[in-house]
Amino acid sequence: MYEYEYVSVQNDRMMGAEFTGYQEIIRTFAQRGYRLVCCIPTNIIGVLQNFDLVFEREVET
């Protein structure tokens, strides 16, 4: 069985797209035993505004 965590990441700029901090989020979750499964765009208005990082790790049942 797996458990999942979702983290929303927002665009840091009004014009264009610039995302910062997502690398640290990925490293932090990896240290906790999670792996990055996918990245889901959640808000696109001309450019990507937000996306969710999806992490999973196996849990014992």
Location of structure tokens 């983290």: 7
Question: Does pTM surpass 0.85?
Answer: no
Question: Mind giving me the DSSP string for the chain?
Answer: -EEEEEEEEE-S-SSS----SHHHHHHHHHHTT-EEEEEEEEEEESEEEEEEEEEEEE---
54, 42 in Cβ contact below 8 A?
no
Retrieve residue 53's tokens: 């990082």
- pLDDT (0 to 100) of residue 2: 97
- pLDDT (0 to 100) of residue 52: 94
Per-residue confidence in pLDDT tens, the chain, 61 aa = 999 999 999 876 665 556 778 899 999 999 999 999 999 998 887 777 889 999 999 999 8
- pLDDT (0 to 100) of residue 6: 98
